[in-house]
Amino acid sequence: MVKIEAIAVDIDGTITDYTRKLCKSSIDALRLAEENNVPVIIVTGNVVNYAYATAVLIGCSGGVVAENGGVVFKESYNNDRVKKLVSKEYVSKAVDHLYNKLGAKLDSSLSSDEEYRESETVFYKTIDKQIILDALKDFEDLDKIEIYDSGFAIHITDIRVNKGSSLKFLCEETNIDINHVMAIGDSENDEDFLKVAGLKVAVSNAEDELKEISDYICEKPYGDGVKEAVEKFVLNKG
Ligand SMILES: O=C(O)COP(=O)(O)O
Ligand SMILES: [Mg+2]
């Protein structure tokens, strides 16, 4: 069994419940990991300031991958702590295309944190993903973007980055061997970072596609699943 030297963990649906409330069990488990010198990296589709606050409030020291890989944050970057890894050029073009096709009905679904998003655009699931996919069928740069359904929202991101490529980048910058990272997630936007990590874990509420690529599927959902994985693979309690 590979020795776990860091944990990479998703936020929504993994350390939170389905209403996005943080699970106490995951807070306790991740703090215990940190106390055992296993840093925790937050890997999320949320914006960097939201992810940063989550990391600080829990006590995670490993840095942050935000916006599905578009932005990373690490304390040790000193004056350059937040790094934007891709431009919003193609995403913005895609969003213009969507507005041209679908008009004002998109407005009510646009995520309220859009003004903070550096590299992607997010719509609430009040609009159907299929409507977005259909409207983008004739978008000229369709091969430059990716559409994810995180289970909580629909993300339009740049194909050049994902949670996996940016986790790798962050690990290289901070001298963490990715083969010794345990990655935990719940949804389709987590596949890329589970794939690059040494140990791939899905919480029990995860979608089937993620479970299929995982080394371990938790018996428990959400934060209780995170606790289960930390106890089993980091604290070696079973
Ligand atoms: O931003 C979302 O829609 C979900 O966020 P997550 O990647 O932390 O689950
Ligand atoms: Mg999630």
Q: Quick one: 97 and 129 in the same domain?
A: yes
For the packed helices 24-35 and 222-233, what is the interaxial angle rounded to 10 degrees?
A: 20
> Ligand 2: distance of its center to the CA of 211 in Å?
13
Can you tell me which atom of ligand 1 is nearest the CA of 12?
A: 9
Whether 1 is covered by a domain: the verdict is: no
Q: Quick one: 194 and 146 in the same domain?
A: no
Residue ending a domain, choose from 158, 177, 194: 158
Whether 205 is covered by a domain: the verdict is: yes
Q: Which of 11, 58, 48 is nearest to 190 (CA)?
A: 11
| Ligand sitting nearest the alpha carbon of 11 | 1
Q: Looking at the 3D structure of the chain, how many domains does it have? A: 2
Q: Quick one: 211 and 95 in the same domain?
A: no
Check which CATH number belongs to the domain holding 137 and give it. 3.90.1070.10
Residue ending a domain, choose from 158, 179, 195: 158
| Ligand sitting nearest the alpha carbon of 210 | 2
60's CB contacts (< 8 A; 6+ apart) are: 30, 34, 39, 40, 41, 42, 54
> Per-residue confidence of the chain (238 residues) as pLDDT tens digits?
889 999 999 999 999 999 999 999 999 999 999 999 999 999 999 999 999 999 999 999 999 999 999 999 998 766 678 999 999 999 999 999 999 999 988 999 999 999 999 999 999 999 999 999 999 999 999 999 999 999 999 999 999 999 999 999 999 999 999 999 999 999 999 999 999 999 999 999 999 999 999 999 999 999 999 999 999 999 988 6
Q: Quick one: 78 and 12 in the same domain?
A: yes
Q: Quick one: 15 and 77 in the same domain?
A: yes
Give the pairing of strands 153-158 and 121-124.
antiparallel
**Which residues constitute the domain of residue 148?**
89-158
* CA-nearest residue, atom 9 of ligand 1: 12
Q: Quick one: 144 and 174 in the same domain?
A: no
Q: Quick one: 172 and 72 in the same domain?
A: yes
* CA-nearest residue, atom 5 of ligand 1: 45
So what's the ipTM on this one?
0.99
Q: Which of 193, 161, 211, 189 is nearest to 12 (CA)?
A: 189
Whether 238 is covered by a domain: the verdict is: no
Mutation choice for ligand 1 from 18, 42, 46, 119, CB with most ligand atoms inside 8 A: 46
Whether 204 is covered by a domain: the verdict is: yes
Q: Which amino acid is at 17?
A: D
Residue ending a domain, choose from 158, 189, 208: 158
The answer on whether 163 is annotated among ligand-binding residues is yes
DSSP string, 28-39: HHHHHHHHTT--
